[in-house]
Amino acid sequence: MAKNLENPTVNALSDNYKKERKLNFLEKLYIPEILKGLWYTLKQMFQPTFTLNYPEEKWDPPAIFRGRPVLVEDHGKERCVACGLCARACPPLAISMQAKETEDEKERYPDFFEINMLRCIYCGYCEEVCPEEAIVMSKDYDIVFESREDAIYDKERLLVPKEDLEDRLEYLKNYRNQQFGSFWDFQEENNIHSVRDRDRDWNTGLSLVDMIEQQKNNDSTPASDSWSA
């Protein structure tokens, strides 16, 4: 057997233990220490408070906070084009969706979109990979379920108007620009759902119908026979 196990240097039977300071009579009573603790508590009662009386008082987190992931609603429609990237990137496979196309304008949209909040680990990968800035981490941390089914958020529960997510969208703009350089920015006009009301909001002079018409004209122009033309 190893020597230090046969002759341990510090334990209840060692010489060091015998040299420990003995408690005096008052210390053995513990009453002075209890009174000291009570006095400290009493003093703290009159100090300024920095805690919140949750849930009556709610904390407003900063924009960097990663709360419940939500879908961005833009002009009454989801920005999501159901590309499936977020579902691919989600480590615990919390996201599921089914893509569909509208008959009129061939827009892709999620027929259903669900996040299982029992699985979500608030990592924010879905937000990072989304090419449409259609899913972002909100400030919502107050999440309660009454059953396992209740924890599966469908599209209606996930959609939040972009006006209510301004803080986070602005934060992402600055944060991403630092990572990708000053040339990257979310191209809102690339999102077909945002384009719908472009004429009204951005005064570009083209409605969606006009743009589709223009696209048809472009498509009907015969292609050149050679690359050099």
Q: What are phi and psi of 99, to 5 degrees?
A: -80, 150
Chosen residue from 122, 141, 145, 202 binding ligand SF4 by CB under 6 A: 122
Give the residue with the Cβ less far from ligand SF4, 118 or 209. Answer: 118
Q: Which of residues 94-113 bind ligand SF4 (CB under 6 A)?
A: 94-95, 97
Give the residue with the Cβ less far from ligand SF4, 123 or 206. Answer: 123
**Stretch in the footprint of ligand SF4 (CB under 6 A) among 41-49, 117-125, 165-173, 203-211:** 117-125
- Residue with structure tokens 């309660």? 144
Judging by beta carbons within 10 Å of its beta carbon (0-12, 13-18, 19+), is residue 137 exposed, middle or buried? buried
Whether 72 contacts 162, CB under 8 Å: yes
Half-sphere exposure of 130 (CA within 13 A, CB side): 27
Is residue 74 at the binding interface for ligand SF4, with CB under 6 A as the rule? no
Query: Among residues 141, 144, 150, 87, which one has the least CA distance to residue 113?
Result: 87
**Stretch in the footprint of ligand SF4 (CB under 6 A) among 32-40, 48-56, 84-92, 203-211:** 84-92
Is residue 85 at the binding interface for ligand SF4, with CB under 6 A as the rule? yes
Task: Using DSSP bridges, classify how beta strands 108-116 and 69-74 pair: parallel, antiparallel or unpaired.
Answer: unpaired
- How many helices (H) and strands (E) are present in the chain, helices listed first? 11, 7
> From the CB of 107, what's the least distance to ligand SF4, in Å?
12
Chosen residue from 70, 74, 82, 198 binding ligand SF4 by CB under 6 A: 82
| Sites of contact with ligand SF4 (CB under 6 A) | 69, 80-86, 89-92, 94-95, 97, 115, 120-126, 129-130, 132, 134-135
